[in-house]
Amino acid sequence: MNFELTVLPVADISGELEVVIVVDGNLKHCFIHDKKLLKKAGFSCEQDETCLLVEKNRLYVGASSLKGADIRRAAANVMKALLGTKYKSLKVATYTNKGCTYTLRAMVEGFILGAYTFETYKSKKNECPIKHISLSLEEYNGLEIDIEKASLVIHKAQITADATNFTRDIVNTTPDDCYPAVMASIAEGMAENTGLSCKILKPKALKKEKMETLLAVARASRHTPRVIHLTHIPKKAKCVVTLVGKGLTYDSGGLSLKPADYMVTMKSDKSGGSAVLGIMKAVAELNLPIEVHGFVGAVENMIGGDAYKPDDVLVAKNGKTIEIRNTDAEGRLVLADTLCYAQQEVKSDYLFDFATLTGACVVGVGHYTSGVMGNSEKIKSLVVKEAKNSGELATALDFNPYLKKTIKSEIADVCNISNTRYGGAITAGQFLSEFIDKEHTDKWAHIDIAGPAFVEHAWGENPHGASGAGVRMMVKLIEKLAKDESLH
Ligand code: BES
Ligand code: ZN
Ligand code: ZN
């Protein structure tokens, strides 16, 4: 989809269909031409409601306010409403709130995110028909933003939304089409296109690195594991960020096999790793002045004669011993070794991990929100704030010493599950904290994206299936680090 920016009024530019965003339920605005027709059609200007007036070549959409989240959703719903039509080009006026650019960014993101469809396995494709969008700066205070600033904002929005869609594609791909070696070649291909460097660790190298917990989880699969390391080093880096992602290309639960209903959708257990790939793509394309490293532990958790077992004791890369009591709590084992490896390779100012780690997080905060954990209040609030600024939902889940006791083991240093039914998202986070070095203790946040990463219905600007959770929040956060000197 390409965007064209102009200072001409909407009436003077080409575009088969004009999109009009009606903000605040207000049909009285003088710029709305078709008041009578809209009333007749029963258009009540509600958020996301659309009304296509074919003969007028106009599509109206409601937005509750000029807030980024509302405009993004409205723009996404425009694209959804146009699925199945033959329109190829749109024109739309830009909106701004006192010269701020976030409305413009949200609108462009919304168009790209809302146009996403996953058609790989459909014989009959139903892709979004829109190829071209002209944006006019003339109306609704748009001229308060100069054209260069506006085109930079559009460029950023395009990169962020395209990276989100790139992540969605990886997550939606079936486990037999996207297994660890495939994830590694996706990373290599993306690195080649964007100028990132990319190192892939295969089983021999993983053995040499003593990543025995990761290897144990991978053992029963015919697909051998990979650890991916992507690097972005700009000329004058302001600080160093490390990202680590859980890349379970399939999670059957292992010998602690998942019930049939719970196993469906577990292709999405690679969402954390896929988010890391998407974030790295965006960071490279935006050429952000931050050194960023992306690590992915790509593994398949299966059953078989060689499977790791409840009762095993595994030794992680940092030497800690882990009593296995449930092979379905595998993500934390893969992350333990990948986190240790990442910290050995890079001393960073910020360390973030992304994982569809626990069903408990979904129970706790619902499908749409990520849980943010860690030892530092400051880092947790930074993540939550930037997630919200980016259009994602996130909330902090605080650690406490009482829950920490529940992952104690009688026979090893730590147990891979807790001895209580409650607080599972937090105890999983506290398990990970065992694998964070002293020097990174207050630099780390764990982001459990199990809720929003994959939802079997469309919501907001997200489609059925993968949402690309984690990408927008982290791109926004790294952009913030690039701007705000007080954070270095
Ligand atoms: N991948 C799952 C967590 C998950 C569940 C993600 C639902 C997305 C949706 C993880 O590996 C897992 O199975 N966790 C177990 C942990 C338990 C055995 C302590 C869980 O949440 O039930
Ligand atoms: Zn599992
Ligand atoms: Zn899992």
313-360 pLDDT, tens digit per residue, is: 999 999 999 999 999 999 999 999 999 999 999 999 999 999 999 999
Question: Atom 3 (ligand 1): residue with closest C-alpha?
Answer: 358
Mean pLDDT of 175-199: 98
Atom of ligand 1 nearest to the CA of 418: 19
Ligand 1 center to 217 CA (angstroms): 14
Ligand 2 center to 311 CA (angstroms): 16
Question: Atom 17 (ligand 1): residue with closest C-alpha?
Answer: 329
Q: What is the mean pLDDT of the chain?
A: 96
217-259 pLDDT, tens digit per residue, is: 999 999 999 999 999 999 999 999 999 999 999 999 999 999 9
Mean pLDDT of 154-165: 98
Nearest ligand to the C-alpha atom of residue 356: 1
Distance CA 417, CA 424 (A): 8
424-433 pLDDT, tens digit per residue, is: 999 999 999 9
Q: How confident is the model at residue 81 (pLDDT cuts 50, 70, 90)?
A: very high
Instruction: Please indicate whether residue 320 or residue 100 has the higher confidence score (pLDDT).
Output: 320
Best substitution site from 262, 270, 358, 455 to test ligand 1's pocket, by max atoms within 8 Å of Cβ?
Answer: 358
Best substitution site from 328, 403, 467 to test ligand 1's pocket, by max atoms within 8 Å of Cβ?
Answer: 328
pLDDT for position 30: 54
Contact 208, 337 (CB under 8 A): no
Instruction: Please indicate whether residue 169 or residue 32 has the higher confidence score (pLDDT).
Output: 169
- Least confident segment among 33-47, 110-124, 472-486: 33-47
Question: Atom 22 (ligand 1): residue with closest C-alpha?
Answer: 359
Would you say residue 26 has pLDDT above 80?
A: no
Ligand 3 center to 104 CA (angstroms): 37
Angle of helix 471-483 relative to helix 271-286, nearest 10 degrees, comes to 40
Would you say residue 138 has pLDDT above 90?
A: no
Would you say residue 106 has pLDDT above 90?
A: yes
Instruction: Please indicate whether residue 66 or residue 449 has the higher confidence score (pLDDT).
Output: 449
Ligand 1 center to 297 CA (angstroms): 16
Atom of ligand 1 nearest to the CA of 356: 6
Would you say residue 140 has pLDDT above 90?
A: no
Q: How confident is the model at residue 147 (pLDDT cuts 50, 70, 90)?
A: confident
Report the predicted TM-score, pTM, of the whole model to 2 decimal places. 0.98
Ion ligand 3 neighbours (CB, 5 A) are 248, 251, 269, 331
Domains and CATH numbers, the chain: 2-145 (3.40.220.10), 162-487 (3.40.630.10)
pLDDT for position 143: 63
Would you say residue 7 has pLDDT above 80?
A: yes
Mean pLDDT of 439-466: 98
Q: How confident is the model at residue 274 (pLDDT cuts 50, 70, 90)?
A: very high
Grouping H, G, I as helix, E, B as strand and the rest as coil, residue 336 is: helix
Nearest ligand to the C-alpha atom of residue 448: 1
pLDDT for position 98: 73
Residue of 119, 265, 279, 287 lying closest to 187 (CA atoms):
279
Atom of ligand 1 nearest to the CA of 416: 19
3-state helix, strand, coil in the chain (%, to 5): 40, 20, 40
Ligand 1-lining residues (CB < 6 angstroms): 251, 269, 326, 328-331, 356-360, 362, 417, 424, 450
Would you say residue 8 has pLDDT above 60?
A: yes
- Percentage of the chain modeled with pLDDT above 70: 98
Active site residues: 258, 332
Ligand 1 center to 367 CA (angstroms): 14
Nearest ligand to the C-alpha atom of residue 326: 1
Question: Atom 16 (ligand 1): residue with closest C-alpha?
Answer: 329
Residue 148 to residues 91, 154, 275, 282, Cα–Cα distance (Å): 19, 10, 30, 21
Residue of 358, 336, 362 lying closest to 415 (CA atoms):
336
Q: How confident is the model at residue 476 (pLDDT cuts 50, 70, 90)?
A: very high
pLDDT for position 142: 63
Ligand 2 center to 329 CA (angstroms): 5
Alpha helix segments (H runs only) across 221-323? 260-263, 271-286
Distance CA 66, CA 48 (A): 13
Would you say residue 29 has pLDDT above 90?
A: no
Mean pLDDT of 389-410: 98
- Percentage of the chain modeled with pLDDT above 90: 90
Q: How confident is the model at residue 146 (pLDDT cuts 50, 70, 90)?
A: confident
Starting at the earlier edge strand, list the strands of the sheet with 2-6: 2-6, 132-136, 89-93, 17-23, 58-63, 50-53
Contact 102, 150 (CB under 8 A): no
Ligand 1 center to 332 CA (angstroms): 10
Nearest ligand to the C-alpha atom of residue 254: 2
